[in-house]
Amino acid sequence: MRIHCPHCGPRGHDEFVHHGDAALRRPPADAPDAAFHDYVYLRDNPAGPYRELWFHAAGCHSWLVVERDTRTHEIRSVTFARGDA
Amino acid sequence: MSARLPSGGLIDRTRTLRFTFDGRSHEGFAGDTLAAALLADGVRLVGRSFKYHRPRGVLTAGPEEPNALVELRAGARREPNTRATMAELYDGLEARSQNRWPSLRFDLLSVNGLFSPLLGAGFYYKTFMWPAKFWEKVYEPAIRRAAGLGSLSTEPDPDHYEKATAFCDLLVVGSGPAGLMAALVAARSGARVILAEQDFLFGGRCLSERIAIGDGSAHRWAQSVVAELASMPDVRLLPRTTVVATYDHGAYTAVERVNDHVAVPPAFEPRQRLWRIVAKRTVLAAGALERPLVFGDNDLPGVMLASAVSTYINRYAVKPGRRAVVFADNDHAWSTVADLRAAGAEIVALVDPRPDARNRAVGVARDAPLLTGVVRRALGGRGLQGVEVEGADGRVQRIDCDLLAVSGGWTPTLHLTSHLGARPRWDAARSMFLPDRLPPGMLVAGAASGGLHTAAALATGFRAAEDSLRSLGITPRGDTPPVAGEEADAWTPLWRAPSSRGKHFIDFQNDVTTADLELAHREGFGASEHAKRYTTLGMATDQGKTSALNGLATLASLTGKTIGEVGTTTYRPPYTPVAIGALAGHHRGPDFRPTRLTPSHEWAREQGAVFIESGAWLRAQYFPQAGETDWLPPVIREVQAVRSAVGLCDVSTLGKIELKGPDALEFIERLYANGWQTLAVGRARYGVMLREDGRVMDDGTVARLGEQHWFMTTTTANAVAVYQHMQHCHQVLWPELDVQFTSVTEQWAQFAVAGPHSRGLLQRVLAPGEDISNEAFPYMGARAVTLADGLRGRLFRLSFSGELAYEIAVPSRHGDAVIRRLAAAGQDLGVVPYGLEALGVMRIEKGHVAGNELTGRTSAQQLGLGRMLSTKKDYIGARLARLPALDDPADTQLVGLKPIDCKTRLVSGAHFLPIGSPTTFEHEQGYVTSVAYSPSLGHWIALGLLKNGRQRHGERLRAVDLLRGQETEVVICDPVFIDPQGDRLRG
Ligand SMILES: [Zn+2]
C-alpha cells in the first residue's frame, strides 16, 4: 500500500502506524461512564469507505486522516489530523 | 545415447559444463537448464512422486514443472524442491533426485502404489482419526519417510540476500512478443521502464518456437529489441526475475536470482535479491501455460507437454524422443509435429479427438499419420514404451513410441491479476479463465489476455503500452507493431479421455487422480476450495499450475456445473516459491534489526562489560573483574559499591522528550495521572501515565527546567510508544494546546552517579562555582550545570537505587569523554561502573515497579500508586481508572516476598498457592514478577502480584514453578526492602 502523506509525498505503508477510526471524539470530562466505555471499546468495522488515523512514524511524525475503502484499499484522501473535525 | 542435435539451439557449444546427478557425471552446455542437459544425456527418470513413489520424468520446460524437482548443491547450500526446468546449468552443479529410497531406479516405497486405495483423497483426515498416540508413534514417522519432497539443509545459509526498491512508470512482466513490444513502445516514448523476465534469456516464446516477426525470425527480432532496450538509460532489464506478488497501489514483489546460476556467489554479491517495485502502470505479459491431458498412466516418464518438446528441440537442441506420438486437442500442437520432424524424430501418430482436424490440417500436420481418436493409456514401466489409442470408430490399438507430446490447450497466467482478490471470469468460447477486474494500473497483454497468436501478442502489447502511457500523460511514440507469421490455433478442449485402466493423474506433484476427485465429490467435498483441501489438488510448490484447469473441469463434470460456475480457487502470493532467505534479506542474526549503542559503549567495553540486548539497545549487563566467572559475584560487588561508595551507570536509553510552550503544563497535566501545578522551576517529579482504559502505560520523571520548558523521561521499552501517544494527544485530541515537543533520546548522554560519595565525585567534575550541596540542590532538583571544562549539561537529583544519587546529562558526543572523566575523578572514592543487573537488583530492593510489573494489564492501584491518581483534573485514563474493577481487592496487588529459608533462590514466574492446597489453577493467587539476590539483605527477594496482597503482609505461601519444577515457601512483605523512609536518598 502507498499512502500520500501531505507533508512527505507518497510512501510505503510500512512507514506508517495504523490507529483505527478517525471519527472517534474523546468525551468531555463530565460525560457519563458509558460515553467513555464506548470511546475506548466500541469500534465499527465497515465494509467500504472508512476514515482512519495513521501516524507517519518513519517520516514526519504527522497524524493523518486516511480515507480508505476497506474492500479495495483504494485511498480517496489523506489529510492532516490536526484541525480535522 | 546422446539426444543432443548436431546443430542449432541457443546454447554455447564451446562451453562444456560438467555436473552430477545422483552422483553420476554428466555434461551439458552453457545455456542449458538442468532439465535440458539431463534430457540431452538421455536421462528420463528424474524423480519419484509424492505419495505413490511412481517414476517421473520432465513434463515441462518452465516454472510450472510438477515432476522434476531436485535437491541442488550440497552441505549448507543444499536446496530442496528446485525445479530442474528452471535451474540454469553451471560447471560443478550437483543435483540429487528426491523422494526415492534407497535409489531412484529401485524404490522400495513404490509399493505405496499397491496400497493406493488407502492413500486416496482425504486420507490425512480419515486415517489419523485414531488415538493420538498412534499418530506420534506410527503414522507420523511412516508418513515422513514415505511422503514429502526434498530435505532442507540444517546448517546456516552461508550466502547473502538483499532487498531493493525500484520505481518506474511502466513495469512489464514477461518478455515474450507482447512484453517486449510493450517495453519498447514505453521506452521509446521516454518512460521509465522495468522489464522483468523469470528466464535467464529475454524473448519468451521467441526462444522456443520457430515463428516469424517482421522480416526475420522471432528470435532475431527479440534480440534486436533487447539490444535497443539495453542501450536506453531509463530502462532496467531484470532477467532471472520473477514477479511473484501484486500488492496495493502499484507495489509488486519480485525475486531476482542474481547468483543461482553459479556454484558460489562472487564476493560481495547476493545470491538473490528481493525487489519491491513501485510501478505507476503495469503490463502483465506473463503468457500462458499448456495443459496436460488426462488419460491412464499419463505420468510416465516420456510424456511431455508439446510446448516443452518444441522448447527442448528449438532452444536447447535436444531431441526428447526418437519415436513420437503427438496427442493434442488443438491446432497449435501441429508446430510441435513440425519441430519433431525437423529434429529427425519419427512421428508415428498424431492423435487428435476432433473429427474436423483432418480437413483443416496444414503443412507438416497434413502429412503426419493423423489418427482421429484419443490416447487411453500410456504403457511402460520406468519409462514410456507405447500408447493405447482408441479411434473414433472404437478400435483400440497399441502404438510403440518413446515420446508422447501432449497438449490440452492453454491457460493464461493470471495470478498477478488476482492477488488483490479479483476472481477471473470463465470465457466459454475460448475455454479459458480471463481476468475480470484488474488491479488499478494494470493491463494484460499477449497470451495472458487470451490472444494466443504472436500477432495478437504484438498488437495487445503495443496497445497496452500506449494506453498506459496516455493515462500517465506521456505521448506514445513509435509506429505500428511488426507483422507476425500466421499460426493455427483452433481448439476444442478434451477434458478427459474415456476411462481406461491405470491412474489418471490430474495433479502430478501431489499424486491426485480423477478417482480422488470423484471420491471427494461423493463425500461432499466437490466445491473447488473443498476439493483442494481434501485431495491436496493444486498445493505444494507448483500450486496447480498444470493441474488446476483439469481439476476444475473434472469437478464441473461431476457436479453438473460449468467450469465457470465451479470457479477457481483463490490465487495468493507468491506465484512461485520464494526462499525464506530472500524474504529475510540482511535482517538475520545480529543484523535482524539495527543495534543502538549507548554513548558510553566503547568505555564500557574497555571495562570488560558483558552486554545484553534491551529492546534495540545493547547495554552493559555487568562488569566482571578478574576471577569473577559467574554473573552473580560482580553484580553483588557493584551493588555493594553503590550502597557504600559510588557507581556509574549509563541511563541514556530512557526515552527523553523536551517540551516547550505556554500550554506545556496543561499538556503534561492531561498526559499524566498525577498533578503538576505545584512543581517549581528547578524541580523534578515522578509521574505515572495511564492509557485511556485506566491501566498504567508508563512511568518516569518530569523536570521543569523553565517556566515553559519541561523535560520528561519514559522507560526504555516504551520510549517510542509514549512519544507516538503524545503526538496523538497533541495532533488529534488537543490541537488547540500551544506546545511543542520532540524526542531528544539520541541527543543526550545521561549517566547515573549513585552512592554516598556521588556528591563528592560530581563536585570534582563540575565547574568550581556549581553548588550542589543538599541545601542548594535538594532531592528532586533539576537544573543546568557547567562542567569544569566549560561544557554545558544538566543535573538531576534523581535516585532509582535509593542512595544519594544524581543523573548528569551532556550532549551525546561528549558522553564518552564525561564518563571517562567521572571514572578517573572517582578513583580514590572507590567508583565502579555498574550494569543493568545491579540497577535491577537495587530497584527491586527499593520496590520500584518496572517492565515486569508494568505489563499493560496492571492498574495504578494494583501497583500501590493509587494515591497518585488526581481527582482534580481530567487526564488520559482518568475516567476508566476510577472503575471499581481496577481497585478490586480480589484482584492482585504489588507485594514483596522473601524465602522462609534464607538460602533458597526465588524464581520469577512462580505462582502463589496457599500452603497445603492442591497445586491446581483454582488455588492460584498471583505470581512472582521480579526476583533478585539482595546483597544488602543477604538473601533472595522478590516482587509479586498477589490477590489482596496489601492485607497479607506476614502471611506464608508457596511459590510454585511447575515449568522449572521448583517450589519455595515464602513470606509476604512490604515491597520496599531497603530504607523505606528514604533517608539515604535525601541525605
Ligand atoms: Zn509524512
Q: Indicate if the pLDDT at residue B912 is higher than 70.
A: yes
Which band of pLDDT confidence, cut at 50, 70 and 90, is reported for residue B102? low
Pairwise CA distance, residues B819 & B163, whole Å: 39
Residue B302 and residue B383 in contact, taking contact as beta carbons nearer than 8 Å = yes
**Average pLDDT over chain B, rounded to an integer:** 93
B568 burial class (0-12, 13-18, 19+ CB within 10 angstroms)?
Answer: buried
Crossing angle of helices B528-535 and B514-522, rounded to 10°:
120
Give the pLDDT band (50/70/90) at residue B127: low
Q: Is B540 on the interface with A (CB under 8 A)?
A: no
**CATH class of residue range A2-25+43-80:** alpha beta
Instruction: Reply yes or no on whether the pLDDT at B496 is more than 80.
Output: no
Measure CB to CB from residue A73 to each of B248, B692, B878 and give the nearest one.
B248
Structure confidence by residue, pLDDT tens digits, B918-932: 999 999 999 999 999
For B731, the closest of A39, A72, A82 (CB atoms) is A82
What is the percentage of chain B residues whose pLDDT exceeds 90? Answer: 85
Nearest by CB to A63, from B251, B727, B874: name it. Answer: B727
Residue B142 pLDDT: 62
Query: In A, what residues contact B, Cβ < 8 A?
Result: 1-2, 12, 17, 19, 26-27, 29, 31, 33, 36-37, 39-41, 53, 55, 57, 61-63, 72-75, 80-84
Nearest CA in chain B to A57: B724
- What digits encode the pLDDT tens for the residues B38-84? 999 999 999 888 888 889 999 999 999 999 999 999 999 999 889 99
pLDDT at B873: 96
Interchain CB distance below 8 Å, A2 and B874: no
Name beta bridge partners: B96: B71
Single out the residue of B499, B506, B509 nearest to residue B528, CA to CA: B506
Nearest to B578 by CA among B527, B621, B543, B630: B543
Q: What is the DSSP letter of B3?
A: -
Task: Name, in order, each residue with C-beta under 8 angstroms of B886's C-beta and a sequence gap of 6 or more.
Answer: B694, B695, B859, B860, B861, B862, B880
Say yes or no to pLDDT of B131 above 80: no
Render pLDDT for B630-661 as a digit per residue (tens, 0 to 9).
999 999 999 999 999 999 999 999 999 999 99
Note whether B791 and B815 are within 8 A (CB).
no
Interval B261-273 mean pLDDT: 96
Contact B107, B100 (CB under 8 A): yes
Position B835 confidence tier, pLDDT thresholds 50, 70, 90: very high
For residues A40-45, average pLDDT: 95
CB count, 10 Å around CB of B834?
Answer: 29
CB contact residues (below 8 A), chain B span 688-727, against chain A: 692-693, 720, 724, 727
| Cβ of residue B247 closer than 8 Å to a chain A Cβ | yes
Q: How confident is the model at residue B495, as a pLDDT?
A: 85
Burial label for B983, CB within 10 Å (0-12, 13-18, 19+), is: exposed
Instruction: Let me know: does B893 contact B887? Beta carbons within 8 Å.
Output: no
CA distances from B674 to B247, B701, B721, B879 (A): 47, 11, 20, 14
Which of A4, A26, A52, A68 is most worth mutating to test chain B (most B CB atoms within 10 A of its CB)?
Answer: A26
Angle between helices B548-559 and B528-535 (to 10 degrees): 120
* 8 Å CB contact of A75 and B250: no
- Interchain proximity A36–B879, CB inside 8 Å: yes
Angle in degrees, CA B407, B412, B416, rounded to 5: 145
CB pairs under 8 A between A and B: 59
Is B118 a residue whose pLDDT tops 80?
A: no
Q: How far is B657 from chain A (nearest CA, A)?
A: 14
Task: List, for residues B857-901, the tens digit of each pLDDT value.
Answer: 999 999 999 999 999 999 999 999 999 999 998 999 999 999 999
pLDDT confidence bin for A79, thresholds 50/70/90: very high
Q: What is the pLDDT of residues B315-363, one digit of tens each?
A: 999 999 999 999 999 999 999 999 999 999 999 999 999 998 888 777 7
Give the pLDDT confidence of B376-402 residue by residue, as tens digits. 999 998 899 999 999 999 999 999 999
Residue B147 has pLDDT above 60, yes or no: no
Domains of chain B: 162-288+413-471 (3.50.50.60), 289-383+402-411+489-566 (1.10.10.1100), 597-653+747-843 (3.30.1360.120), 655-743 (3.30.70.1400), 889-986 (2.40.30.110)
B249 to A2: CB separation less than 8 angstroms, yes or no: yes
Contacts of A47 in chain B (CB under 8 A): none
Q: B986 pLDDT exceeds 90?
A: no
Q: Which residues of B are less than 8 Å from A76 in CB distance?
A: none
- CB of A70 within 8 A of CB of A58? no
Half-sphere exposure of A57 toward its Cβ, with a 13 Å CA cutoff? 17
> pLDDT at position B974, please?
97
Distance B777 CA to ligand 1 centre (A): 43
